[in-house]
Structure 1
Amino acid sequence: MAQAHTQETERDGEPPLRRTGSRARNLSDRLRNLWDHWRTDRGIWRRGIVLAACAVLLSLVMIFHAQVPNRVGNLGSLVETFLPWLGLFIPLLLVLALVRRSATALLALVLPVAVWLNLFGGLMFFDKSGAGGDLTVVTHNVNAGNSDPEGTARDVAASGADVVALEELGGDGVAAYEKVLAGTYRYHTVQGTVGVWSKYPLRDSKPVDIKLGWTRALRTTVATPDGDLAVYVAHLPSVRVKIEAGFTASQRDDSAEALGQAIAAERLDRVVLLGDLNGTMNDRALAPVTSQLRSAQGAAGDGFGFSWPASFPMARIDQIMVRGVDPVSAWTLPRTGSDHLPVAASVDF
């Protein structure tokens, strides 16, 4: 009995079982074990060569996107339209590199990360917008099939803009916009399917020929309190992505050339271009226009400012571009009844 008592006492006196450490400590131990495994794995540098090559190729496409040829299906313009979205391949390659346990692929990923940040880091992480401005402008493709033009007009008027440009006007919608906007904007002009509403007097309003056979662009002079401003509004032809033809944009490109010529001939120093250009600032096909003007979003916006499609914006094809005035801020407005988001900017004279 004494011996049994002694054994029982010793068992009772044993130290308690060691408890599992904290989650952070467990994670640290696992990472340390993983690192030890990788460090002793002799194949770590030999695996993932194909993934590393893909990372380098992705980097080269982003760096030399202007050299991607347009001869086959306008591939270059297609790449440039969705250029920021190439960054989505980076986390995919990262996951694959970790699964393959490839140090080579992980090291190669540094290159596309650096390139993407160089191209888009400023837009993504830095808010360049300021406060104030002498004039606020808004442009909106209202969509010819918009079932609520009155509501869209009220939304646009509520922006507080001094000058509003609308594209894709048509049918009974024009009368609806004129009726609703008349209370806020005393002056307006409609040329074909585009129009301008302004709090300040307009003069010399006329259509601009962009080689379509019907009017989808105009030019007017806005007599602001700070001086005259030439305002261009344009709705360039749509582009299509077709399996058999690629990125079909030849008509859009011809119209961009004609619009660029009209802007180049402008005599006023202060110019603002508003509209749906069906292309991004990166698209080389818009160079006849973009080479002459600054993007308000690029100069003073917060983020990419994607405007289309409104349900899930993936590209900024609605543009506000300027010459002779300084962008102060640029932003997108809430969704209306259109498939585009309205975009706005304030400028200093």
Structure 2
Amino acid sequence: MSALLEKPRQSGRPTPPRRRRSRPALAIAVCLASLALALLLAAHVLVPRMLGLSLIVESALPWFGAAIPVLLVAGLIARSRGAVAAAVIPAIVWGVMFVPALVPLTQSAGGASGTLTVASQNVEADSGTAAESAQALAAQGADVIGLQEMDDTARAEVEAVLSESYPHSYGIGTVGVWSKYPIENAQALDLGLGWQRGIAADLATPTGLVSLYVIHAASARPADHEARDEMLANLADYVPRDENARLIMMGDFNAGSSDRSLAGLTGQLAEANQNGGGFGFTWPAAFPATRPDHVLSRGMDVTSNTTLRAGSSDHLAVITTLAL
């Protein structure tokens, strides 16, 4: 037989699989982006205030976590262990910062002395549904209802629907509070700007006085948030001077939970996790993306904390129950 017709001899060794080539440019980009994201998360307080940059970044800070899966996938596409490891760094930083706040609140029935349920909502001046909001919050069993962004018409409508069940009330400027318990020493809160957007009072509960503050902070926009910053700084100064061991501060602070301007308050007062977990975003109501509305407290354990759509406001309401 001719040698030309013979089959080629097998070497006996399998052909090695073709190695897919790494993408060094993509790997470097993932590493740099990952480190930049981790630095932004960990050191967001260093972001400059100019042009409203700090306000924008800190309002959206939890959402920066959405970039982490993208970086991980890009690291895998780049076939670089270093890039994948770099993408894990912002994931760890984000987890340390935000995961504790996502854990559902451990609910309890409260102490033997009972509970106090407070509700707060910015009812939106032009919504025309302040009374509807008030009725919805009353139906949730709130003992105290604090409302913000009311005009005279809205205040009168709320008073008409709440006065029978909530005989104690006080209002000034854009804020008002209605209570089943007596309100003592109620006064406008001087926040140094000459604006009537805050109330300070003593709430006479069956177990003694609880300090109550209802706040409607100045609006915060990227190019205009100095007034809000000053109001929150002055508000933080009231906390250590308050003589009551138990204190509740609620309202529209126009500052998300990650906003540095709120740190003076959250460093002294606690804000409970949500019953079902999550961030408890309250604005805008149609698709909540941040939380300018808060119930802060000291001296009492929170047994329930949730948000609720009430009326047609662009803010969700916050309803919190505390053990007396």
Same fold (TM over 0.5): yes
Query: What letter is aligned with 2:152?
Result: G
For structure 2, list consecutive stretches of 5 or more residues without a partner in the other structure: 1-16
1:77 shift after superposition:
3.7
Q: Give yes or no for the alignment of 1:52 onto 2:27.
A: no
Query: What letter is aligned with 1:280?
Result: G
Q: Give yes or no for the alignment of 1:214 onto 2:195.
A: yes
Query: Aligned partners of 1:301 and 1:203: how far apart in 2?
Result: 35
Q: Give yes or no for the alignment of 1:90 onto 2:68.
A: yes
- Cross-structure match for 1:184: 165
Query: What letter is aligned with 2:180?
Result: K
- Cross-structure match for 1:284: 260
1:268 to 244, 248, 252: 244
Q: Give yes or no for the alignment of 1:323 onto 2:323.
A: no
Residues 285-316 of structure 1 deviation map (CA, whole Å, 9 limit, x = unaligned): 12332222111337x77221101110110111
1:51 shift after superposition:
1.6
2:24–2:78 Cα contact (<8 Å) kept: no
2:213–2:249 Cα contact (<8 Å) kept: yes
1:335 shift after superposition:
4.2
For structure 1, list consecutive stretches of 5 or more residues without a partner in the other structure: 1-35
Q: Percent same amino acid among aligned pairs?
A: 37
2:75–2:87 Cα contact (<8 Å) kept: no
Structure number with bigger Rg: 1
- Cross-structure match for 1:76: 54
SS of the residue corresponding to residue 328 of structure 1 reads strand
- Cross-structure match for 2:82: 104
1:338 to 304, 313, 316: 313
1:61 shift after superposition:
1.0
- Cross-structure match for 2:99: 121
Task: Output aligned runs, 1:201-280, within 5 Å.
Answer: 201-241=182-222, 245=223, 248-280=224-256
1:269 shift after superposition:
1.2
Equivalenced residues, count:
304
Query: Aligned partners of 1:41 and 1:335: how far apart in 2?
Result: 57
Are residues 92 and 207 of structure 1, via their aligned partners in 2, closer, same or farther at CA, if it must alter by over 3 Å?
same
1:177 shift after superposition:
0.4
Query: What letter is aligned with 2:230?
Result: D
Query: Aligned partners of 2:313 and 2:88: how far apart in 1?
Result: 40
1:100 shift after superposition:
4.2
User: Which of 127-136 and 137-146 deviates more?
Assistant: 127-136
- Cross-structure match for 2:108: 131
1:301–1:329 Cα contact (<8 Å) kept: no
SS of the residue corresponding to residue 273 of structure 2 reads helix
Query: Aligned partners of 2:189 and 2:321: how far apart in 1?
Result: 25
SS of the residue corresponding to residue 209 of structure 1 reads coil
1:77–1:285 Cα contact (<8 Å) kept: no
Q: Give yes or no for the alignment of 1:195 onto 2:198.
A: no
2:45 to 63, 66, 78: 66
Structure 1 length as normaliser, TM-score?
0.81
1:336 shift after superposition:
2.4
Query: What letter is aligned with 2:65?
Result: G
1:123–1:301 Cα contact (<8 Å) kept: no
Are residues 46 and 288 of structure 1, via their aligned partners in 2, closer, same or farther at CA, if it must alter by over 3 Å?
closer
Query: Aligned partners of 2:44 and 2:181: how far apart in 1?
Result: 42
Query: What letter is aligned with 2:271?
Result: S
Q: Give yes or no for the alignment of 1:313 onto 2:288.
A: yes
Residues 234-291 of structure 1 deviation map (CA, whole Å, 9 limit, x = unaligned): 11101113xxx4xx31110111122122333211111100110000232211233222
Query: What letter is aligned with 1:281?
Result: S
